[in-house]
Amino acid sequence: MHMLWNIVQDHKIAEARSAASRPACTITDVARYAAHLEERLDKLGLICRAMWSFLQDATQLTEEELTKRAEEIDLSDGALDGKVKRSLAPCPKCGKAIAPRHHRCIWCGEERPGATAFDQV
């Protein structure tokens, strides 16, 4: 019985080593993800341009005022780094934290609260 156990364990170890030596993702996976990110970026750019054109038409704001506001928003998370840090949100159903990258709670499936046009990109 002991010998059979060793054979099974050796086989499992060999399978694990084989799996560990394979890449976690392929070049095709990376290319597909890059295309997905480019699509999201294009959508976000379109939303921003549409909003800016509405604002300019309605208020006569200038590019300088837009740049100043962008810097203010950038600093809202404490760092002038060209990014806005999205935070965890509590699930309205189960109370567990929902990560910014998730649109639904991984625990109960409830939709992330407070979705905006930017969160949907």
Residue 23 lies in a domain: no
Strand, coil or helix: what is 110?
coil
**Number of domains present in the structure of the chain:** 2
Buried-state track 33-66, b at ≥16 Cβ within 10 A, e below 16: eeeeeeeeeeeeeeeeeeeeeeeeeeeeeeeeee
In terms of domains, do 117 and 104 share one? yes
Residue 62 lies in a domain: yes
- In tens, the pLDDT along 27-67 reads 898 999 999 999 999 998 999 899 999 999 999 999 999 99
> What is the chain's Cα-based Rg?
24
Residue 55 lies in a domain: yes
Residue 21 lies in a domain: no
Asked if residue 82 has pLDDT above 80, the reply is yes
In terms of domains, do 96 and 79 share one? no
pTM to 2 decimal places: 0.47
Residue 121 confidence (pLDDT): 58
| Of residues 80, 118, 77, the one with CA closest to residue 100 | 118
- Residue 76 domain boundaries: 35-85
Q: What is the rounded distance in angstroms from the CA atom of residue 109 to the CA atom of residue 103? A: 9
Residue 27 lies in a domain: no
Per-chain mean pLDDT for the chain: 86
Average of per-residue pLDDT across 75-80: 86
Residue 67 lies in a domain: yes
> Looking at per-residue confidence, does 52 or 84 come out higher?
52
In terms of domains, do 80 and 106 share one? no
In terms of domains, do 108 and 77 share one? no
In terms of domains, do 61 and 103 share one? no
In terms of domains, do 77 and 92 share one? no
- In tens, the pLDDT along 12-27 reads 888 888 877 777 788 8
Residue 14 lies in a domain: no
Question: For the chain, where are the alpha helices, taking DSSP H only?
Answer: 2-21, 27-59, 63-75
In terms of domains, do 45 and 76 share one? yes
| Of residues 44, 59, 86, 113, the one with CA closest to residue 69 | 59
